Amino acid sequence: MASAIEVTTTPGQLSSQLDDTSVTTLTITGEMDARDFLFIANELPSLTSLDLSGVSIVAYSDPHHPLMGTVNDYAAGTLPQSMLMGMKLESIVLPDSLLAIGKAALAGCDHLTAITFPETLTSIGDYAFSGTGLEAVTIPATVTSIGRGAFAHCFSLASVTIEATDIGDCAFLGDHQLQSVLLGEAVKRIGTEAFHDTGIMSLDASTATALDSVGSWAVASTPVTSVSLPASVTELGEGAFFGTTQLTSASLPATLEAIPNYAFAGGSLVLGDTLLHEGLTTIGDYAFYNWDNTHYFFIPSTVTYIGTRAMAGMIGLERIDVAATTPPALGDSVWAGVDQPSVKLGVPNNEVIDLYSSAEQWQEFYILRYYLLGDVNDDGIVDVTDVNLTISYMLGKNPEVFIFPAGDIDSNNVIDVTDVNGIINIILGKVGQTTIQRAKRRDHRTVLTTDDLLSIEPFSVKVGETRTLDIYLHNGQDYSAMQFDITLPDGLEMVSGSVTSTTRSAHHSQMMRTSGTTSRVLSYSMDDLDFANNDDSLVRLRVRVTDEVASDACILLSNVVLTHDHKSYRAPESSTPIDNTTGVDNLTLDTSRVYATGSTLVIESSEATTVQVVSLNGIVRLLNVPQGRSEWNELSGGVYVVRLLGKSYKVSLQ
């Protein structure tokens, strides 16, 4: 009995070269065709080793007598389909000139543990090595296609290196021991179920720079923990990573426009803040179904649709940030099983909150709103009202609206005097740009206005002197805090630290900060007390005259904020003219007079002129008066400042 034989044959003549069919090792040279392979399959049952390196496979065709099944034609350079299927081969050396491996050519050869492909090989047919005992495979770049199921159910296959262009459908399906997969730069397609139900632990396709599509269910039901796809991928198939329960990180390309149905369904731990990119438009049905351990998820601004139950079962979800200014359209029960009211939803800005809060399913979330740090009453401005409200909160008065995160300036979860001081520093401009805090959405506060007015009585100045300015509050209701800006003309400057209280503000603290010609003044009470309600001035400031002041110069009071009962009121601006810039009294004879008789304004002028009448709300009216006495009854009751021939008169009309 011969165990090893070497023969040289011609097409169809191998049977005549072998007398002993019990051979176990066979080396063949020469030319063979499909008939010779059929002889090996049928007549050499003991064959375990076959060396075909010196063989050239030629074509064979017989339209009247199929060799196997209904196949009549067998191409040259191709290992014939099904011919060696199920043999006990432990090793085979393929022809050096082999171009293709036919369908199921070596399928079921479960003793075959290794294979080397020649550099001439261009294709591997469907099921070519399915069910074999291969342990490791390297597929060269010359191979343009790996057929359907070519290496499916190879239960010992542990690692593969693929340089081939196309990985066919189900190519490695069911290879439970397959953990290591290396993809070369020539790989262009991963077919449907290509690695389904394998033992793959990591799919790093980042080096496969030609890869443009990953088929449906391609890596489904695997223990893969990480996935990285290159920027070239534009298509991801349905259920591509379905049931990958150990997936903890995934990197998807920015070129991907859609996450298909079931793409990551049944996953668990993928980090949702880095997964999706701008440019994505669609998230399919059940795409992230049952990600029960995901705490955070980010949705890009370009997403316009999220499919049915796409995120159902995300029971560990704590927060979603969505960047779209228009709420994406939704399928049915997108977040079924999720406790939406306890999940925070961050939206791009406050302007779109109403859109999300009125959109079905979106409105069920705990919608977050942006707040300025220090803006505890949410009116969009940090001012003395916020100081007053913070003090009230500290005193336990429970203001109707108080945004705790906005008031907790030092982020220590306690509201105290440090936070009051922090808000004051924001108002006075002692700190840089305010930061943004987030808290639960509330209705926006309405800014109120009032006709109550701050004013300064007209005065005269001379160079070198220091003057005290009394700031009066003409008010119809009580206020507990105040702020305003005072802008001085050229020639006047504020004396540092000069702001002081009067009897009306004896229980209030006064603060001032000067920048250029403008000073911001705050007056507030740590006991949350109202200003005393009388006609005295409210605060006093000192100014220094450094140079001559223009004859038409005025002092401007602006940005006036008054607070009452935790509400913020904006008062009008007012300006005060400076009467005499020399400080020398007018010694010329002047018979002019301005006074009131009841509701009538009386003006006695030494010449015809134009008179300025300034009301306490800052409105200026011009009156043309003749020489002599004239009366005016068109003015409503109130206090006015009348400027006549360079002098100012204060009158009160009933």
How big is the chain, counted in residues? 654
pLDDT at res. 534: 66
Average pLDDT over residues 223-251: 93
508 or 87, higher pLDDT: 87
User: DSSP characters for 246-305?
Assistant: T--EEE--TT--EE-TTTTTT-----BTSS--TT--EE-TTTTTT-TT--EEEE-TT--E
| Cα–Cα distance, 456 to 650 (Å, whole number) | 11
- Three-state secondary-structure class, residue 388: helix
pLDDT at res. 586: 38
555-574 pLDDT, tens digit per residue, is: 999 989 888 876 778 899 99
Checking if the pLDDT of 239 tops 90, the result is: yes
126-145 pLDDT, tens digit per residue, is: 999 999 999 999 999 999 99
Average pLDDT over residues 517-528: 86
Angle between helix axes 417-427 and 384-394 (nearest 10 degrees) is: 180
pLDDT at res. 568: 79
203 has which bridge partners? 227
Checking if the pLDDT of 588 tops 50, the result is: no
46-87 pLDDT, tens digit per residue, is: 999 999 999 999 999 998 888 888 888 999 999 999 999 999
CATH number of 448-577: 2.60.40.680
Other Cβ atoms within 10 Å of 493 Cβ, number: 16
Q: Which residues contact 490 (CB under 8 A, 6 or more apart)?
A: 517, 547, 549, 550, 553
Checking if the pLDDT of 298 tops 90, the result is: yes
Task: Specify the range with the lowest mean pLDDT, choosing from 264-273, 277-286, 335-344, 599-608.
Answer: 264-273
Checking if the pLDDT of 583 tops 90, the result is: no
pLDDT at res. 432: 56
Checking if the pLDDT of 270 tops 70, the result is: no
How many angstroms separate the Cα of 459 from the Cα of each of 469, 470, 617?
Answer: 9, 10, 19
Average pLDDT over residues 187-196: 97
Helix (H) or strand (E) holding 14: helix 14-17
Average pLDDT over residues 176-183: 96
What CATH architecture is 593-653?
Sandwich (2.60)
Q: Where are the beta strands (DSSP E) in 10-124?
A: 25-32, 49-57, 60-61, 73-74, 78-79, 91-93, 100-101, 123-124
310 or 548, higher pLDDT: 310
CA angle 431–434–436, rounded 5-degree value: 155
- Three-state secondary-structure class, residue 554: strand
- Give the pLDDT band (50/70/90) at residue 590: low
Average pLDDT over residues 301-330: 95
592-646 pLDDT, tens digit per residue, is: 888 887 788 888 888 888 888 888 776 778 888 888 888 888 888 888 888 888 7
| Cα–Cα distance, 138 to 161 (Å, whole number) | 5
pLDDT at res. 591: 67
How many angstroms separate the Cα of 97 from the Cα of each of 31, 38, 58, 144, 624?
Answer: 12, 20, 11, 16, 114
400 or 12, higher pLDDT: 12
536 or 281, higher pLDDT: 281
In what side-by-side order are the strands of the sheet with 249-251?
A: 202-204, 226-228, 249-251
pLDDT at res. 230: 94
504 or 14, higher pLDDT: 14
564 has which bridge partners? 567
pLDDT at res. 589: 45
Where are the chain's structural domains? 371-440, 448-577, 593-653
pLDDT at res. 249: 85
Residue 321's nearest CA partner among 275, 273, 250, 372 is 273
| Cα–Cα distance, 113 to 92 (Å, whole number) | 10
Question: Does residue 33 contact residue 59 with C-beta atoms inside 8 Å?
Answer: yes
Average pLDDT, the chain: 88
Cβ burial, residue 622 (10 Å; 0-12/13-18/19+): exposed
pLDDT at res. 293: 87
Cα 279 versus chain centre, distance: 13
What CATH architecture is 371-440?
Orthogonal Bundle (1.10)
371-440 shares its CATH topology with 448-577:
no
Phi-psi region of 217 (alpha: psi -120 to 50; beta: other; left: phi over 0): left
| Cα–Cα distance, 141 to 164 (Å, whole number) | 5
| Cα–Cα distance, 343 to 330 (Å, whole number) | 18
Q: Which residues of 254-265 are buried (b: 16+ CB within 10 A; e: fewer)?
A: ebbebbbbbbbb
Q: What is the value of pTM for the model shown?
A: 0.63
376-426 pLDDT, tens digit per residue, is: 888 878 888 999 899 888 878 888 888 888 888 888 888 887 888 888 888
